[in-house]
Amino acid sequence: MITFHRVLISTAIAFCLFFAAWGWQEHQRSHTAWSLAASIAFAIFAVGFAVYLRFLKRFLGGGGSR
């Protein structure tokens, strides 16, 4: 079950990074506040998911990190 969770979180990280990059490109093109906010938010989500993935065992009560 933890393996599936790792795959799922890794997919979420990839999605967030892709969407952050897309939002940044959109911001460079259109200079809208929405695209900048989306880019920053999804970059923060990607970092948060990466931290969560790094310490998954600790969050799930399984002891130290991998």
66 in a structural domain: no
How far is 50 from 17, CA to CA, in rounded Å?
11
28 in a structural domain: yes
53 in a structural domain: yes
How far is 40 from 30, CA to CA, in rounded Å?
16
Range of the domain at 25: 2-59
Mean pLDDT of the chain: 90
Integer Rg of the chain from CA: 15
pLDDT, tens digit (0-9, with 9 covering 90-100), for 33-63: 999 999 999 999 999 999 999 988 777 776 5
pTM for the structure as a whole: 0.82
39 in a structural domain: yes
Q: How many domains does the chain have?
A: 1
